[in-house]
Structure 1
Amino acid sequence: MGRPVIPLPLFGKACAAALLVGVCVVVYAPVLLPASWALAAAVLGLVAWLRWPRGRCCGALLLGLGWAALHGHARLDAQLTVDVAKRAGMLQGRVIDLPRHSELSTRFTFRVDNHAEIPAALRGRDLVLNWHDPRNGDPPSARHQVKAGSRWSLQARLRPPRGLRNPGGFDAERQALLQGIAGTGSVIAPDQARPLALPTGLPAWRERMAAAIAAQVQGDSARFIQALALGDTRGLTPQDWDTLRALGLTHLIAISGLHVTMVSFAAGWLTAQGWRFFPPLPRRCPSHVAGAVVGVLAALLYAAVAGFALPTVRTVLMVAVLAAATCSRRPAPTGQLLALAVWAVLACDPLSVLAPGFWLSFGGVLWLMWCLRERMTRVRAFLAAQAVATLALSPLTVAMFGQASRAGPLVNLLAIPCWGSVVVPLALVGTALEALVDGAGRWPWQLAAWCFDASWQLFGRVAEQPWALWWVPQSAPWALPLALLGVFWLLLPRAAGARLPATLLCLPLLWPMPARLQPGEVELQVIDVGQGLAVWVRTRSHTLLYDAGPASVGGFDAGERVVVPALQAVGMARVDQVLLSHTDRDHAGGLGAVRRAFPQASVQAPPGALQAAAACHAGQHWHWDEVRFELLHPAPDSAYDGNASSCVLRIETPHGAVLLAGDIGHREEAVLLRDGAGTLRADVVVVPHHGSAGSSSPAWVEAVSPRLALVSAGHGNRFRHPRPEVVARWQAVGAEVLNTADSGALRVWLGPQGLQVREQRLFERRWWDAAEQARSAAILSASKQAASGPEG
């Protein structure tokens, strides 16, 4: 007789790993499993998992496939379609988060009421709305009255979730999917918006506490105390986030999973110790059970203070699993507890694997479990844990964020005990006292701020060092598993003899080598910046940035949030020259961020446009790596005239030519045709003025006659760019027209292999992105067919 097969535990480590694999196969696939197949997989997997002891891993795998796909379909079905967005009228609902007020706009999350008079597709949906001040000089609207927890009646122009797509860029559509956001929009007819009820509930309480901290804490650290006590990061500036990234401390700001765990364990331990001083209590309920219950309640309360942010909810589930194991009085190995936590998190939300925090949390615990098995003193265990976490999590951090903090390991040794043991407890004590008696939280908050200030001044000096933050270009998909294997090899016991090959396995991720261009070759990318323009051009050893993207006053800065990350993601360690076509905000708004990131770059702009920049004018030319750059416009002695003064750049290589025309119009096109129509011929052209009706005249298009015409325009922009007649004009001369609004960033190569192009949305295809494009096809078609509207 053969050896009997021992059935795998239902919630064992093997089944948890199989469930996770099944979820990841679906979530990271380019297309979503059909709903009928998903339901069949989930039912079959559940039956096999429950009833087939020998094949529980297969059942868990199928269950993960089906469960994740069903959740994906549910989230997509909850998002707005174009038809529903068009029919939306007056909305009634509640502000469910802390609104972000800037100089000219307010951004907030709005949950629509579940009333019969509201369209069924909008009832109960969460929308992210922007309320802008009037543009025509009218007095400011009532947007500053928007408070967390208040109810409003307002009218908004809605659309499905949509974001920019660039290498290394933030995926707004994935974030909307994770947070359950059904759509975005802008408040229209602000004079008709009116409040329906005063602020109430948890959001209103959080805003009152945030206001109390701001009023009672002296000094600049109030904004950090708001973040640590309430998860309110509205006061943190971009410079604050840059410093935190350089120090590797972003995981400690706001209410992080680490802080929830520390608060839960502290509350549970204090309860268990105090329980023993009252003899009747242990007889009714054991002290370890009381501590576990109080620990879970403390974690739940702290997560509520943070507004139930995703990382805190995940941590509460993990704490609840540990508490349940403690109450059961059954010995549970740490690995089994981790498996139970995986089951709990994925059962509640399988799409949470899209969040970087999921992998950093579980990955960190897994590495620590495996590496720290021997008994150590507390100090030695803390130092060893920091070393292991730094080494083991570096591949995940680099792959997910494109950066790593060299200063992080050292700074965390000080920040974790200082902030976690002193600042956070004082901030929480102040919040608790303030909730009981107005004004009672002043001194705990102030003490927390003084302690934070002392460490922040020290850390700030470290963050200013050029070596503190290390940007890593994007690498091939296979580089991450290779690096994880290398780290595993490095951490093996007695692996000293294998350190060199293990380190080599990490190199493709940590030091990816971008394709090296040969002399005479050129590469360019039209970055997806929305309604604006930013193009980088690369030869073998030089880089030029043509325009820097848009920026609004006190709002979105594409230079900081899009252009610089895109350059760093493709491995641009330096920029030699920035050429501004003109100084309108949609083309030059991001210049400040670009200058801070690449201070060595020289800047050129049209004559008289920018005082600190050299003038660009017709007749200038230079050669980089056997590639000729020539400026065709404006005239050297011309006065600056906005769009009409745009610098027109022609790039000529042995393999073809590129033409970058800024925002010139029909009049400037006629001048260029008169002065030398033969010099306009190009294989690739960035369509002037985003494809407006006031540019791309028939004669100009005929003279250029490109094979590829690229448009940089915002999705559903109010100017209706590019105009359908302009697109048809370029197509009539044989050009393929691609738009960043549809394709994301557009990357083009001119070399011995000819002309090549890559569309970012197709190159990194995601099922939530493909579904969104299908839903937005109708509005894109309608926009391209429209022939009238205001020009930008």
Structure 2
Amino acid sequence: MLAVLVAFAGTVALPWRPLRHLAVCLLFAGWAALHGAHGMAARLPAEEEGQDVVVRGHVVDLPRARGGDASFLFVPESVEGAPPWSRGTLRLSWYRTPVSPAPCEHWQLTVRLRRPRGNVNPGGGDAERTALQRGIIATGYVRAAPDNARMGPGRCVDAWRDGVARSLDTHLGSDDARILKALAVGDTRGLDAADWDIARATGVSHLIAISGFHIGVAAGGGVLAVRLLYAWWPLLGLWLPRQLAQAVLGMLVAGGYGVLAGLGLPTVRTLLMIGVVVLAGMARRRAGGMSLLAFAMLAVLTFDPLSVLSAGFWLSFAGVGFLVCCVAPRSRGLAGWLGELLRAQAAMSIALLPLSLCLFGSTSLMGFVANLVAAPLVSFVVVPLTLLGCVLLPLPAIAVPLLAGAAWLLGRLWRMLAALAEVPGAQLSVAESGILPVVLATVGALWLFMPRGVPLRGYGALLFLPLLLPVRDMPRAGAFRVWVLDVGQGLAVVVRTRQHTLVYDTGPAYGGGRDAGAGIVLPSITALGLGPVDTLVVSHGDIDHAGGASAIVSRYPQARRLSGEPGRLGFPAEQCTSAADWSWNEVSFRFIEVPPAVQGKTASNDRSCVLAVEGDGGRFLLTGDISDKAERRIDREALWSDLPTVTTVAHHGSKHSSDVLWLRAVQPELAIVSAGWRNRFGHPHASVLARHEDAGADVLNTAVSGAIQVDLPRGAAPRVVREWRRPAGRYWRE
């Protein structure tokens, strides 16, 4: 707080303008740090994780229900024992719920909570940063308890939004209404993974979510209504000046639409800019585009300084700022308007490319073409029809044809976008780069769109090369690298030689059609610049190891596939045996066969492929889920090696694996556990950690370290290069 006050004093007292600007930056940095500290202090204390607690409060936003399960945000109003963390928002899941909570309803619930935490991987999101930015202090689930009860209904905007969404489902059908609901009330619950894939591949995600431009269109509709009213009844001007009426109604319509949409960051930015225009007009002063944008940013950072942690903040303000700087009306008439539309769309597509690649690792190359059609159609036809239809919902005879027309147009547009998304190369993905290539590419975009007469404008494209063609440091022949990814309670490993990539296990499948293959493994491969997968090994058929395999096969159908249980997979695969051994770039890949049980049926875990990857400098042993019984059946000569050994800990550290005799035969220097944080199995078991310690092995756990990179170089000992949860500067990450 003292630093904030000192910075504020500096903004007033410093005589030199650059120093005042620096003081303003320090002021807002301190303000954001203060909010961040308060947000971290409000989180659930670590000692209270995993305990059952009774909370009373109300549901906020729009709950999601799928397959008998529900997920929702919950604001506690009272907590049993009134602990200090009771002020904030909880993200809750309710499995096999008898009734899904509705927006604004008051409930008493018995919940089990933990601090916000997520997987940390190359190219992945940051769940803890998102939780801090959104004020989420704990996550958890509702426990089955007799005290769980609905205390009563509530009144809030979210209930209104939910009511409009349900009305659209009733009148149009849930399939036809799914995108219309997103445009009308910001309800994306009906959109599935395929819809979002189409939106990302064609660069129209900003049109599905209610954007600032939609708010501007709504404000323009209010202004147009006033103009028509005054044209029909000019005498109104004697009681209320037309300009004032336009400003008031335009602001009211825009504000109402923004509230109905859930007040996202682009919405708030546009409302603030419209408000400044209104105030400037009433004061008979002109407000330039950059002044409007600067005021909007100042207001957003004042009321929500942690918004800088969201990608939407940077994309929203950067996009509008680039348009203001580089695109200005130059000619009149339809031809001039079309020319500026093309220039504006080209500017946005190119200007936001560096930022999109930096934030998401990919961008749409079809966005320019798709938005030329989609942006005008959605903004000037579909949105007005949708808003008018929603306003007239009490008169279904008028509202339904308007909404049906909007849904029909959206359906035809979506088919076109789906076709564009299938075009080869529709989406560009690049490896992670530092901040310098992003800055250079952004400068290049500004240079490209400088006014005519600026020399060498075309050379701005050259500044994109460090971002689009990053230099990747691949292992030498005889060396290799291994990444044990953070997939929670499961396993996924990526191995890279100089020219080839192998994936061993693909992590679990989650609810709602999501899996670690699409959500973690593929983004990690892209972010690391590892290229196509040459071989996929699925140790066995359990869902925590094979859950993401179909996503890998779909992306890389040419990859060779092996498994200990090929019959349990949803695609053809070879049986992993010693006959399938191979080598790449002087690195050998050797399956260590696990003999079947002498009596009875061999357990699924004991059918796991055990793969030894051996280079000049060391060996990495991938062990799947084998138990101590299987470990004892393996031929000790097959395990022997004079190379320094790194190994995954079998079965996530179960007490029934990693036998003393096994560790004596393997002699690992480093063992890596892949397990979920505070998992219900208690993995890794304390006895397993003790056995590894007695064997002289260091142990790392992905639940603590995040993804782990191990290099096994030529002529040197294996070394841990990076633990993704460890980088300094992420104060929100534990």
Bin the TM-score by the shorter chain.
Answer: over 0.9
Aligned residues: 723
2:494 is paired with a residue of what secondary structure? strand
Which residue of 1 is the match for residue 153 of structure 2? 198
Quick one: which of 349, 363, 385 aligns to 1:390? 349
Please give the residue correspondences for 1:673-688 in structure 2 after superposition, counting only pairs within 5 Å: 673-674=635-636, 676-679=638-641, 682-688=644-650
Change (3 A) 1:48 1:117: same
Which residue of 2 is the match for residue 528 of structure 1? 486
Quick one: which of 622, 633, 657 aligns to 2:619? 657
Q: TM-score, with normalisation over the residues of structure 2?
A: 0.93
Which residue of 2 is the match for residue 461 of structure 1? 419
Aligned-residue offset at 1:284: 4.9
Post-superposition Cα deviations, 1:217-236, rounded to whole Å, max 9, x if no partner, equal 14833211111111111111
Quick one: which of 720, 729, 732 aligns to 1:757? 720
Quick one: which of 457, 465, 471 aligns to 1:513? 471
Amino acid at match of 1:149: C
Distance in structure 2 (CA, Å) of the matches to 1:47 and 1:439: 61
Which residue of 2 is the match for residue 372 of structure 1? 327
2:178 is paired with a residue of what secondary structure? helix
Distance in structure 2 (CA, Å) of the matches to 1:117 and 1:190: 15
Consecutive unaligned residues in structure 2, runs of 5 or more:
none
Distance in structure 1 (CA, Å) of the matches to 2:270 and 2:176: 27
Which residue of 2 is the match for residue 61 of structure 1? 25
- Residue 724 of structure 2 is aligned to residue 769 of structure 1: no
Which residue of 2 is the match for residue 490 of structure 1? 448
Question: Is residue 129–residue 185 contact of structure 1 (8 Å, CA) maintained in 2?
Answer: yes
2:389 is paired with a residue of what secondary structure? helix
Amino acid at match of 2:35: H
Quick one: which of 161, 165, 168 aligns to 1:213? 168
Distance in structure 2 (CA, Å) of the matches to 1:94 and 1:389: 41
- Residue 560 of structure 2 is aligned to residue 605 of structure 1: no
Quick one: which of 658, 670, 694 aligns to 1:708? 670
Question: Is residue 96–residue 148 contact of structure 1 (8 Å, CA) maintained in 2?
Answer: yes
Distance in structure 2 (CA, Å) of the matches to 1:533 and 1:211: 41
Change (3 A) 1:755 1:49: same
Question: Is residue 404–residue 472 contact of structure 1 (8 Å, CA) maintained in 2?
Answer: no
Which residue of 2 is the match for residue 230 of structure 1? 185
Quick one: which of 624, 629, 636 aligns to 2:589? 629
Question: Is residue 120–residue 725 contact of structure 2 (8 Å, CA) maintained in 1?
Answer: no
Distance in structure 2 (CA, Å) of the matches to 1:596 and 1:82: 40
Aligned-residue offset at 1:546: 0.4
497-506 or 702-711, which moves further after superposition?
497-506
Which residue of 1 is the match for residue 363 of structure 2? 404
Question: Is residue 230–residue 254 contact of structure 1 (8 Å, CA) maintained in 2?
Answer: no
2:61 is paired with a residue of what secondary structure? coil
Aligned-residue offset at 1:417: 0.7
Which residue of 2 is the match for residue 42 of structure 1? 4
Quick one: which of 638, 648, 659 aligns to 2:610? 648
Post-superposition Cα deviations, 1:362-408, rounded to whole Å, max 9, x if no partner, equal 21222222222452232222111111111222111111111111111
- Residue 30 of structure 2 is aligned to residue 72 of structure 1: no
Aligned-residue offset at 1:274: 3.4
Amino acid at match of 1:217: L
Quick one: which of 91, 95, 99 aligns to 1:128? 91
Change (3 A) 1:210 1:410: same
Percent same amino acid among aligned pairs?
40
- Residue 318 of structure 2 is aligned to residue 363 of structure 1: yes
Distance in structure 1 (CA, Å) of the matches to 2:639 and 2:504: 23
- Residue 125 of structure 2 is aligned to residue 170 of structure 1: yes
Quick one: which of 341, 349, 356 aligns to 2:304? 349
Distance in structure 2 (CA, Å) of the matches to 1:192 and 1:232: 31
Question: Is residue 448–residue 459 contact of structure 2 (8 Å, CA) maintained in 1?
Answer: no
Amino acid at match of 1:650: A
Distance in structure 2 (CA, Å) of the matches to 1:755 and 1:283: 84
Aligned-residue offset at 1:500: 6.4
Change (3 A) 1:517 1:88: same
Which residue of 1 is the match for residue 655 of structure 2? 693
Post-superposition Cα deviations, 1:573-610, rounded to whole Å, max 9, x if no partner, equal 31111101111010001112222222222221115443
Change (3 A) 1:259 1:204: same
Change (3 A) 1:738 1:322: farther
Q: TM-score, with normalisation over the residues of structure 1?
A: 0.87
Aligned-residue offset at 1:685: 0.5
1:320 is paired with a residue of what secondary structure? helix
Distance in structure 1 (CA, Å) of the matches to 2:45 and 2:272: 33
Distance in structure 2 (CA, Å) of the matches to 1:300 and 1:721: 51
Change (3 A) 1:213 1:670: same
254-263 or 626-635, which moves further after superposition?
254-263
Distance in structure 2 (CA, Å) of the matches to 1:486 and 1:295: 38
- Residue 69 of structure 2 is aligned to residue 110 of structure 1: no
Change (3 A) 1:577 1:116: closer
Distance in structure 2 (CA, Å) of the matches to 1:520 and 1:365: 50
Change (3 A) 1:238 1:167: same
Post-superposition Cα deviations, 1:71-99, rounded to whole Å, max 9, x if no partner, equal 11122222222234456511111111211
Quick one: which of 451, 470, 478 aligns to 2:436? 478
- Residue 701 of structure 2 is aligned to residue 739 of structure 1: yes
Question: Is residue 603–residue 613 contact of structure 1 (8 Å, CA) maintained in 2?
Answer: yes
Post-superposition Cα deviations, 1:15-59, rounded to whole Å, max 9, x if no partner, equal xxxxxxxxxxxxxxxxxxxxxxxx222112222323445453243
Change (3 A) 1:371 1:705: same
Change (3 A) 1:765 1:312: farther
Distance in structure 2 (CA, Å) of the matches to 1:711 and 1:79: 27
CA RMSD, 1 decimal: 2.4
Question: Is residue 677–residue 703 contact of structure 1 (8 Å, CA) maintained in 2?
Answer: yes
Question: Is residue 103–residue 553 contact of structure 1 (8 Å, CA) maintained in 2?
Answer: no
Question: Is residue 402–residue 474 contact of structure 1 (8 Å, CA) maintained in 2?
Answer: yes
Aligned-residue offset at 1:726: 1.1
Change (3 A) 1:414 1:428: same
Aligned-residue offset at 1:198: 3.1
Change (3 A) 1:532 1:498: same
Post-superposition Cα deviations, 1:321-346, rounded to whole Å, max 9, x if no partner, equal 33222222112222222221221111
Change (3 A) 1:697 1:125: same
Change (3 A) 1:418 1:88: same
Change (3 A) 1:289 1:713: same
Aligned-residue offset at 1:499: 5.2
Distance in structure 2 (CA, Å) of the matches to 1:228 and 1:146: 23
Amino acid at match of 2:720: V
Aligned-residue offset at 1:116: 7.5
Distance in structure 2 (CA, Å) of the matches to 1:191 and 1:559: 39
Change (3 A) 1:292 1:582: same
1:560 is paired with a residue of what secondary structure? helix
Distance in structure 2 (CA, Å) of the matches to 1:152 and 1:116: 12
Amino acid at match of 1:75: G
Change (3 A) 1:572 1:349: same
Which residue of 2 is the match for residue 720 of structure 1? 682
Which residue of 2 is the match for residue 452 of structure 1? 410
Which residue of 2 is the match for residue 136 of structure 1? none
Question: Is residue 743–residue 759 contact of structure 1 (8 Å, CA) maintained in 2?
Answer: no
Which residue of 1 is the match for residue 501 of structure 2? 543
Distance in structure 1 (CA, Å) of the matches to 2:595 and 2:170: 56
Aligned-residue offset at 1:193: 1.8
Change (3 A) 1:553 1:124: closer
Aligned-residue offset at 1:762: 4.8
Change (3 A) 1:637 1:514: farther
Question: Is residue 474–residue 497 contact of structure 2 (8 Å, CA) maintained in 1?
Answer: no
Question: Is residue 706–residue 723 contact of structure 2 (8 Å, CA) maintained in 1?
Answer: yes
Consecutive unaligned residues in structure 1, runs of 5 or more:
1-38, 134-140, 774-792
Change (3 A) 1:484 1:677: closer
Change (3 A) 1:445 1:765: farther
Distance in structure 2 (CA, Å) of the matches to 1:428 and 1:750: 60
Question: Is residue 346–residue 352 contact of structure 1 (8 Å, CA) maintained in 2?
Answer: yes
Distance in structure 2 (CA, Å) of the matches to 1:366 and 1:677: 61
